[in-house]
Structure 1
Amino acid sequence: MKNATASSILQFVRLKLLLIASVCVVLGCGPSASAPSATTVTKVEAAEANREPQPKLPTLKLWIGAQEMVTEIARAPAEHERGMMFRKQMGEQEGMIFIFPQPKRTAFWMKNTLVPLTAAYIGSDGVVLELHDLKPLDETPATAASDKVRYVLEVPEGWFVRHK
């Protein structure tokens, strides 16, 4: 994405996720103190072997400016690893939000992901730090320039441009 375009989009789009953080605390979406159960790991491994998408995750409504979006919440490591793999579509007002226990430098790639996406790397304060367009099946990591990424929101590719 061109720097001027990305800069203008990032200036326009100030995604505030404090609401999400509050809702996640209420819903128990925070990091789990225990490891995933053997059943969860087995289901993820089975889905990978069968090349099936992970089951639909719990959802949360987000508002980005005037736009309402329904996002699946990926908070467990197995859910992060699986993400949008093997899914054949994503609606225009749908997304997947990845929640990390602490800010970090992260990288996303498109292993077994068939849908073109834009990943918004977001800080703890809810501000979009970076946007990365991700091409289907491209395993090249889109590494964050910042080590302050707390959330990643995946949406249909170009969503932020279309909804300025």
Structure 2
Amino acid sequence: MNRLLVCLSCLLALLTGPAWSRDAPQLQLPRVTLTAGMHLIQAQVAATPEQRSIGLMFREDMPAGEGMLFVFEQPAGQCFWMKNTLLPLTAAFVADDGTIVNLVDMKPQSLDSHCSARPVRYVLEMHQGWFAKRGIQAGSRLSGSPFDGRK
């Protein structure tokens, strides 16, 4: 009887787990260390369509030096909005070589669209003002494994 209850509990967890994880913050994504000049960034990597569609939605907090790097298969015009995103963020649209193409501040829980100024493969979201406080602007360069060897 106990074994049956354990099996049923496991089955229930498997069936309900994915629905919960779709609405909960993505906390188990791969991570990469990036640098912006002398500043370190610990970024979670959202590389699949599902990971990118969830992004930082529903998160109530994020450590100061952390962010999320969205990785797309090829450079394209990328547009982001903040539906269900609770934190004010700045998006850096980043070229293959790590050069920041443009930066945009984004208001929480908004459907306003914020787009790259030209086709990019990467978008790095950080707390709003993180880049400005460090003097990082369009034309600045990020370093790290995603940008190694890309021209």
Tell me the TM-score normalized by structure 2: 0.74
Aligned: 1:150 with 2:114? no
Give the residue type in structure 1 aligned to 2:104.
Answer: H
1:102 — aligned with what? 74
The alignment-based identity, stated in percent, is 40
The AA in structure 2 aligned to 1:109 is: W
Q: Give the residue type in structure 2 aligned to 1:63.
A: T
TM-score, structure 1 normalization: 0.69
- Alignment partner of 1:126 is 2:98: yes
Residues of 1 paired with 2:41 and 2:94: CA distance? Answer: 16
Deviations 1:16-54 (A, max 9, x none): xxxxxxxxxxxxxxxxxxxxxxx9xx82x5434xx4222
One of 52, 55, 70 as aligned partner of 1:80:
52
Deviations 1:108-128 (A, max 9, x none): 000100000000001112110
- The CA RMSD measured in Å over matched residues stands at 1.6
Alignment size in residue pairs? 120
Give distance in 2, aligned partners of 1:47 and 1:144: 29
Secondary structure of the equivalent of 2:61?
coil
The letter for the 1-side match of 2:21 is: A
The one of 109, 112, 126 aligned to 1:140: 112
Shift of 1:67: 0.5
The answer as to 2:42 corresponding to 1:70 is: yes
Name segments (4+ residues, structure 1) moved above 3 Å.
Answer: 45-48
Tell me which structure has the larger Cα radius of gyration.
2
**Equivalent position of 1:160 in the other structure:** 131
Q: Which amino acid in structure 2 is aligned with residue 82 of structure 1?
A: I
Q: Which runs of 5+ in 1 are unaligned?
A: 1-38
Q: Which structure 2 segments of 5+ residues have no match?
A: 1-13, 136-151
